[in-house]
């Protein structure tokens, strides 16, 4: 019998540990290759474009701090979403929860306009958490009480959140001296996050994000709650059998991811933005889904993935300025990366086999 | 040019390997027209793999198949059907949301319109005593009725060879008798039947010849009439089994598990509602509930374990005399020493993608104190996992492999081991030895008896009547969500339990006992 | 009266893209595949349709191109999910993110370009009947096509053998595989059909509903279409009903302003999203009903290992 030359997939007996780590690298590699093709089609020198995208933005100290600024919300939300995804709770409305956090945090900042006090910033951050939890809590309530699919409800609420922000910015939160522009007043200094490195926008949010990575790691790998989350995601019936309440896990993961997304929203408005605008996020909430996946739903992986995806935002902006490339390239990059990752993941459970079937042990 | 042959089908030197296991190693098999041929072997002996190659679902790595003397290459089930091979699977290939006639139509290669087909179904069902309404939806049918769909689907193709894969495991003894009448009639009409089973009585009752497989190899082909059940068993298992040591009779303790008038509506449209269930299990006692799968066993176990709370009547379940209807599985486990083993191993008793270490933690973390300062003590958990693996002979490379990579029987050993190792005071266990090899099955049964001897109350839910007759003190049956009266096992016969399984109450005979 | 006719006409145009996309997703889901990437496929259809109409000046070619674009986008999903065993939920999300990005990239040169909209086709005789003539017989070709597809899908799923096989695959892929049906091939085709329908739904937005190109112009309609399938309990007739109901809610904002109702436009714009949540809650409450109606294999991975 002639060996078959068409590669086939054969299931591995046990999943490959190496591939769990190699697959994201393979995905990044494949994304780079296809981006070269994309640049050639767009009639741009691939070398120049790749340089503009991935090297130039981080070749200065300032660039590196900007990377951290962009990575902060991605890592924060990515860690929190990972917990939910592990439990099989598909909160894909982090964008809406971020916006609510921004609204709550921003409203708090404006409430304390021209006041000073050490308590203002903690209050802003707490308000952000409450806003995000509120928005995610609706999703949890509808899911546990009415069995409504959380993918759809959380996403629909994202659209509602964005319209709500728009409404408020045209109404009660509008800058009274702003000539009717749809934006709030600039927050006063005591409502702005402390800067870590003078002359840059690097703020303490970055430290909060690192803290989230550490806490998320411990939570997921060593605590009973983390264990319950993993069991519920892998086999909900086994969780019920052991006595872990499915509803409780849905509530906890949604409140947690909503709260953290809200925190990220509050950090954004009181950090790099410094006021409320009709748009306070270039889709961080959605990109964080990719971050969570590329980071293997593991907090430490999320940290690296968050930096990588932040680079695509930064690179997109640099390439737009220096090469006149449309900013939409960033979205294509991000989509491609997730595609290639999902495709590469097949190698965790399968091996590519040339020739005929059956290895005899 | 076709050669003439005495045999309808002839398999020579069939080999088939899966990653890590040689499922069939040089198997020969010959069947004549009109012959009922048994394929005998334990779980995992390679029976299903062999017939899947005859039916074109799998392709052999080596070996030949001749049909009517011609060398054939059965690449797909369609080619098998074209040749005249039909198969009734152990797990039915049915579509719940479709009607009987739609289901049968999907299994036909040459489809006629549904109306004509419905008439044919009605006619066949009358001729062979297999009552079936062609326009019912499958999800409304009982397991026995579902099997009839499969059989009629096969008969419509007018096959020359009918393969039946463990057809009686889902039937009550009375239904089995009816099935055998049908099969004997088909055989008299000239149809060859390949009958896969590990139940020796059935093979004695029905088959002419038997081919015995063990661990993927052929042990031999024998004429059934010349063999005793003992000699068949010896060939099947390879060694004489040790008799179960019945521990000396123990003094029964107080009632530790009591169910009083438990009714629980199904929360799932395909589920079974439990109705007015009453039972008591005392310390030191093993009580059995027989029943065909899907009659409410899973619902009952979930209610006893607390996965399904019985809030409407919280005192319908009592552990150690206390109403526990409101308590979740955790509280029942911690406060009353309750342990349970669900029927479905992967995804209910264990989580497939997590390691054996993680799975050891699942129900043991409180009892064995595997949490230290709020963090999981993985060293201690690993020790426990490795103890289960050693004590119960779980075959696995190490304790870090995901539970889903274990074979069904090995995982069953692990789960049963996890629960029994914690020395529960009350144990509810479903299908304790399902899919487990004979030696390990004996270990598990022994462990259950020993647990009872230590004073625990044990409730065994099983469809394996031989097992229940062997290990229980009292026995009853569940049918359609209703549990029968319980009777001392020593006074029961397989037939009588069969009547209970079919929902018939035993009004005379044993009715005056306890 | 004229206002009423105008309202009904706008309901039809708002409903048609939802109808196409939901119809396609229904067929995909009936085969057991949950494709969350409708939004991505729709927007690819929207930009390719709009791009093509400018290159060729032919609405017909543009519509065909949009269907191909939707189907090609769906192919990515189908390959990842069916060949590479990727999980369906994240793959669908990736498809949406990718589609929105790629359409924005392609659409760079199309921003601000005008198009007069695809022509209305008046059916001779019938269209001159007062009132109903305008509503039913003086529509653009895609509206007629959408109604035709409703009938055709109904016929296909319930009356043909291929439709029976497709439903069977969605009910139990293991049983279908055991019977020798090619689960992967059937699901592939069903996914492509879903993509083509989403594509033409998207094209309706950019060629008829508001004939111009705006980045992200699908604005969540793909997700609403997904909810419509649940709302319809996986029945074709109810998808038609649901799409027109949502079409009605979508155009409320236009007419509220016309009627001088003083509600902020943002709140009116929220209505379709809030209505989607409301509908989901009402439909999903009865868990057992959802379980009976939804294809039993929906979203589950198929591993034909043994």
Average pLDDT score over chain C: 89
CB proximity list for B35: less than 8 A, separation 6 or greater = B8, B187, B192, B193, B208, B209
CB pairs under 8 A between A and B: 90
pTM for this model (two decimals): 0.86
How many domains does chain B contain in total?
3
One domain for residues B375 and B492 = no
Instruction: Give the chains touching C; criterion: ≥3 Cβ pairs < 8 Å.
Output: A, B
| pLDDT number for residue B241 | 47
A37 touches chain C (CB under 8 A): no
Of A143-157, B142-156, B409-423, C118-132, the poorest mean pLDDT is in C118-132
Q: Would you list the domain boundaries of chain C? A: 2-293
The shortest C-alpha distance from A82 to chain B (Å) reads: 17
| pLDDT number for residue B509 | 45
Contact B349 A15 (CB under 8 A): no
**CATH code of B37's domain:** 3.40.50.300
Q: Which chain B positions have a beta carbon within 8 Å of A242's beta carbon?
A: 329-330, 362-363
Residues 139-178 of C with CB under 8 A from B: 161, 164-165, 167-168, 171-172, 174-176, 178
The shortest C-alpha distance from A30 to chain B (Å) reads: 28
**What parts of chain B have a pLDDT lower than 50?**
1-3, 240-242, 509-514
One domain for residues B370 and B438 = no
Say how far apart CA B479 and CA B485 lie, in whole Å. Answer: 12
Residue of A nearest to B350 (CA): A238
Residues 135-164 of B with CB under 8 A from C: 139
One domain for residues B138 and B277 = no
Write the pLDDT tens digit of every residue in A166-205.
Answer: 999 998 999 988 888 899 999 999 999 999 988 899 999 9
C14 touches chain B (CB under 8 A): no
For the residues of chain C, what is the DSSP string, one character each? Answer: -HHHHHHHHHHHHHHHHHHHHHHHHHHHHHTT---TTHHHHHHHHHHHHHHHHHHH--HHHHHHHHHHHHHHHHHHHHIIIIIS---HHHHHHHHHHHHHHHHHHHGGGGTT-----PPEEEPTTGGGSTTHHHHHHEEEHHHHHHHHHHHHHHHHHHHSHHHHHHHHHHH-HHHHHHTT--HHHHHHHHHHHHHHHHHHHHHHIIIIIS-S--TTTTTTHHHHHHHHHHHTTT-HHHHHHHHHHHHHHHHHHHHHHHTT----HHHHHHHHHHHHHHHHHHHHT-HHHHHHHS-TTTT-------
Contact C306 B89 (CB under 8 A): no
Mean pLDDT of all residues in A136-164: 95
B106 touches chain C (CB under 8 A): yes
One domain for residues B454 and B314 = yes
Write the pLDDT tens digit of every residue in C188-243.
Answer: 999 999 999 999 999 999 999 989 999 889 999 999 999 999 989 999 999 999 99
Nearest to C43 by CA among C110, C88, C101: C101
Write the pLDDT tens digit of every residue in A86-128.
Answer: 999 999 999 999 999 999 999 999 999 989 989 999 999 999 9
The answer, yes or no, to whether residue A355 has pLDDT greater than 70, is no
Q: Which chain C positions have a beta carbon within 8 Å of A92's beta carbon?
A: 93
Tell me what ipTM this predicted complex has.
0.89
Residue B480 lies in a domain: yes
One domain for residues B304 and B225 = no
One domain for residues B209 and B165 = yes
| pLDDT number for residue B8 | 93
Residue B16 lies in a domain: yes
Residue of C nearest to A39 (CA): C105
Residue B378 lies in a domain: yes
One domain for residues B407 and B440 = no
Q: Would you say domain C2-293 falls under CATH 1.10.10?
A: no
Write the pLDDT tens digit of every residue in A39-69.
Answer: 898 888 999 999 998 899 999 999 999 999 9
The shortest C-alpha distance from C290 to chain B (Å) reads: 10
C301 touches chain A (CB under 8 A): no
| Strand pairing class (B338-341; B371-372) | unpaired
Model confidence at A287, pLDDT cuts 50, 70, 90, reads very high
Better pLDDT: A238 or C179: A238
Contact B402 A14 (CB under 8 A): yes
Contact B111 C291 (CB under 8 A): no
Domain hosting residue B122, numbered range: 9-237
The answer, yes or no, to whether residue C91 has pLDDT greater than 60, is yes
The answer, yes or no, to whether residue A358 has pLDDT greater than 60, is no
Contact C291 B270 (CB under 8 A): yes
Q: Which chain B positions have a beta carbon within 8 Å of C167's beta carbon?
A: 95, 97-98
CB proximity list for B469: less than 8 A, separation 6 or greater = B475, B489, B492, B494, B497
One domain for residues B416 and B429 = no
One domain for residues B413 and B304 = no
Provide, rounded to the nearest whole percent, the portion of chain B with pLDDT above 90: 51
Task: State residue B457 phi and psi, 5-degree precision.
Answer: -95, 125
> Crossing angle, helix C141-159 and helix C161-171, to 10 degrees?
70
| Strand pairing class (B371-372; B457-462) | unpaired
| pLDDT number for residue B324 | 93
Model confidence at C180, pLDDT cuts 50, 70, 90, reads confident
C184 touches chain A (CB under 8 A): no
Write the pLDDT tens digit of every residue in C30-63.
Answer: 999 999 999 999 999 999 999 999 999 999 999 9
Residue of B nearest to A228 (CA): B362
Indicate the length of chain C as a whole number.
306
Q: Identify whether the C-beta of residue B99 lies closer than 8 Å to the C-beta of residue B146.
A: no
SS3 B67: strand
Contact B268 C288 (CB under 8 A): yes
CA triple B503-B504-B507, angle to 5 deg? 145
Q: Which chain B positions have a beta carbon within 8 Å of A234's beta carbon?
A: 351-354
> Testing the interface with C: which of B97, B147, B267, B404 to mutate, by most C Cβ within 10 A?
B97
One domain for residues B125 and B27 = yes
Say how far apart CA C208 and CA C68 lie, in whole Å. Answer: 18
3-state DSSP helix/strand/coil percent for chain A, to nearest 5? Answer: 70, 5, 25
Q: Would you list the domain boundaries of chain A? A: 69-310
| pLDDT number for residue A360 | 35
Q: Which of B185, B204, B237 is the last residue of a domain?
A: B237
Partner residue opposite B105 with nearest CB, options C164, C291, C306: C164
Contact A167 C264 (CB under 8 A): yes
Model confidence at A1, pLDDT cuts 50, 70, 90, reads very low
Residue B248 lies in a domain: no
Partner residue opposite A11 with nearest CB, options C102, C266, C305: C305
Residues 231-270 of C with CB under 8 A from A: 264, 266-267, 269-270
The shortest C-alpha distance from A133 to chain B (Å) reads: 25
One domain for residues B181 and B281 = no
Say how far apart CA C243 and CA C224 lie, in whole Å. Answer: 9
B77 touches chain C (CB under 8 A): yes
């Amino acid at each position: 019998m002639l060996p078959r030359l068409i590669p086939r997939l054969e299931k591995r007996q046990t999943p490959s540990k190496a591939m769990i780590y190699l697959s994201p690298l393979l995905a990044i590699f494949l994304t780079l290759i296809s981006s070269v093709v994309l640049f050639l089609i767009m009639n741009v020198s691939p070398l120049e474009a790749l340089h503009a995208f991935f090297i130039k933005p981080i070749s200065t100290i300032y660039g590196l701090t900007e990377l951290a600024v962009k990575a902060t919300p991605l890592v924060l939300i990515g860690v929190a979403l990972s917990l939910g995804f592990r439990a099989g709770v598909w909160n894909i409305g982090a964008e809406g929860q971020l916006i609510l956090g921004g609204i709550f945090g921003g409203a708090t900042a404006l409430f304390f306009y021209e006041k000073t006090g050490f308590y203002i910033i903690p209050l802003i951050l707490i308000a952000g958490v409450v806003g995000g939890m509120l928005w995610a809590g609706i999703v949890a309530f509808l899911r546990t009480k009415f069995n409504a699919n959380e993918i759809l409800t959380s996403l629909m609420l994202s659209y509602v959140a964005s319209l709500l922000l728009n409404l408020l910015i045209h109404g009660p939160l509008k800058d009274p001296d702003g000539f009717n522009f749809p934006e709030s007043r600039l927050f006063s200094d005591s409502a702005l996050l402390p800067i870590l490195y003078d002359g840059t926008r690097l703020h303490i949010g970055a430290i909060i994000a690192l803290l989230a990575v550490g806490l998320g790691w411990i939570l997921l790998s060593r605590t009973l709650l983390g264990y319950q989350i993993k069991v519920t995601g892998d086999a909900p019936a086994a969780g019920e059998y052991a006595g872990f309440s499915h509803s409780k896990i849905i509530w906890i993961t949604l409140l947690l991811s909503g709260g953290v997304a809200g925190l990220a929203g509050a950090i954004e408005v009181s950090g790099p933005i410094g006021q409320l605008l009709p748009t306070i996020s270039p889709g961080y909430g959605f990109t964080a889904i990719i971050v969570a996946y590329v980071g293997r739903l593991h907090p430490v992986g999320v940290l690296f993935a968050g930096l990588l995806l932040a680079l695509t935002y930064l690179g997109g902006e640099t390439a737009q300025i220096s090469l006149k490339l449309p900013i939409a390239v960033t979205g294509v990059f991000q989509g491609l990366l997730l595609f290639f990752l999902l495709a590469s993941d097949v190698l965790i459970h399968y091996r590519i086999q040339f020739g005929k079937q059956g290895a005899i042990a | 040019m076709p050669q003439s042959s005495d045999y309808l089908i002839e398999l020579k030197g069939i080999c088939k390997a899966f990653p890590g296991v040689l499922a069939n190693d040089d198997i020969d098999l010959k069947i004549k027209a009109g012959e009922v041929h048994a394929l005998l072997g334990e779980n995992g002996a390679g029976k299903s793999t062999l017939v899947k190659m005859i039916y074109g679902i799998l392709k052999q790595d080596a070996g030949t198949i001749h049909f009517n003397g011609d060398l054939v290459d059965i690449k797909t089930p369609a080619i098998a059907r074209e040749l005249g091979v039909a198969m009734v699977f152990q797990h039915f290939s049915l579509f719940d949301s479709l009607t009987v006639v739609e289901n049968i139509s999907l299994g036909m290669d040459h489809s006629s319109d549904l109306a004509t087909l419905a008439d044919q179904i009605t006619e066949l069902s009358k001729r062979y005593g297999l009552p079936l309404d062609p326009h019912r939806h499958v999800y409304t049918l009982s397991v026995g009725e579902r099997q009839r769909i499969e059989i009629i689907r096969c008969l419509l193709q007018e096959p020359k060879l009918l393969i039946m894969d463990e057809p009686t495991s889902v039937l009550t003894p009375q239904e089995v008798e009816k099935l055998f009448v049908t099969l004997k009639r088909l055989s008299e009409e000239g149809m060859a039947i390949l009958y896969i089973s590990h139940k020796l009585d059935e093979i004695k009752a029905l088959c002419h010849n038997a081919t015995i497989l063990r661990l993927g190899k052929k042990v031999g082909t024998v004429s059934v009439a010349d063999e005793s059940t003992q000699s068949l068993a010896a060939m099947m298992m390879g060694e004489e089994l040790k008799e179960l040591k019945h521990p000396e009779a123990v003094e029964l303790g107080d009632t530790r598990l009591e169910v009083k008038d438990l009714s629980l509506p199904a929360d799932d449209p395909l589920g079974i509602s439990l109705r007015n269930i009453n039972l008591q299990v005392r310390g030191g006692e093993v009580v059995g509930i027989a029943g065909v799968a899907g009659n409410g066993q899973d619902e009952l176990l979930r209610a006893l374990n607390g996965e399904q709370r019985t809030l409407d009547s919280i005192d319908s379940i009592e552990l150690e005399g206390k109403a526990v209807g409101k308590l979740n599985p955790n509280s029942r486990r911690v406060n009353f020493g309750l342990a349970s083993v669900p029927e479905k191993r992967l995804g209910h008793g264990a989580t497939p993608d997590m390691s054996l270490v993680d799975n050891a933690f699942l129900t043991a973390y409180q009892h064995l104190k595997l949490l230290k300062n709020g963090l999981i003590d993985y060293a201690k958990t690993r020790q426990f996992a490795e103890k289960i693996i050693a004590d119960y002979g779980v075959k696995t490379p190490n304790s870090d492999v995901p539970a889903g990579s274990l074979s069904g029987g090995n995982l069953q050993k692990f789960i049963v081991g996890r629960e029994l190792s914690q020395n529960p005071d009350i144990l509810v266990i479903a299908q304790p030895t399902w899919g487990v090899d004979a030696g390990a099955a004996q270990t598990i049964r022994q462990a259950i008896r020993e647990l009872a001897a230590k004073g625990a109350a044990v409730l065994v839910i099983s469809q394996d009547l031989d097992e229940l007759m062997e290990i229980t003190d009292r026995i009853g049956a569940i049918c359609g969500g209703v549990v029968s009266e319980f009777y001392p096992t020593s006074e029961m016969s397989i037939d009588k339990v069969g009547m209970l399984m079919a929902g018939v109450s035993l009004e005379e005979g044993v009715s005056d006992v306890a | 009266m004229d206002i009423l006719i105008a309202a009904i006409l706008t309901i039809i145009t708002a409903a048609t893209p939802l109808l196409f996309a939901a119809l396609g997703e229904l067929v995909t889901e009936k085969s057991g595949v949950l494709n969350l990437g409708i939004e991505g496929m729709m927007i690819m259809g929207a930009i390719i349709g709009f791009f093509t109409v400018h290159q060729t000046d032919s609405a017909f070619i543009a519509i065909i191109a949009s269907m191909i674009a939707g189907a090609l986008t769906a192919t990515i999903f189908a390959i990842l999910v069916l060949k590479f065993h990727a999980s369906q939920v994240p793959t669908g999300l990736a498809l949406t993110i990718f589609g929105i990005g790629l359409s924005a990239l392609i659409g760079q040169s199309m921003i601000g370009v005008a198009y007069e909209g695809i022509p209305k086709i008046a059916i001779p005789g019938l269209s001159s009947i007062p009132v109903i003539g305008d509503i039913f017989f003086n529509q653009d070709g895609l509206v007629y096509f959408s109604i035709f597809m409703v009938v055709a899908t109904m016929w296909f799923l319930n009356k043909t053998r291929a439709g029976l096989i497709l439903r069977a695959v969605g009910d139990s892929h293991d049983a279908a595989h055991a019977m020798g049906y090619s689960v992967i091939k059937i699901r592939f085709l069903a996914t492509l059909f879903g993509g083509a329908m989403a594509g033409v739904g998207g094209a309706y937005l950019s060629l008829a509903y508001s004939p111009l190109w705006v980045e992200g112009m699908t604005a969540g309609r793909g997700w609403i279409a997904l909810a419509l399938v649940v709302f319809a309990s996986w029945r074709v007739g109810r998808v038609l009903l649901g799409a027109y109901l949502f079409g009605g809610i979508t155009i409320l904002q236009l007419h509220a302003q016309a009627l001088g109702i003083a509600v902020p436009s943002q709140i009116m714009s929220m209505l379709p999203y809030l209505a989607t949540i409301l509908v989901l809650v009402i439909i999903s409450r009865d868990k057992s009903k959802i379980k009976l109606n939804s294809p039993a294999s929906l979203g589950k991975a198929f591993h034909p290992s043994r």
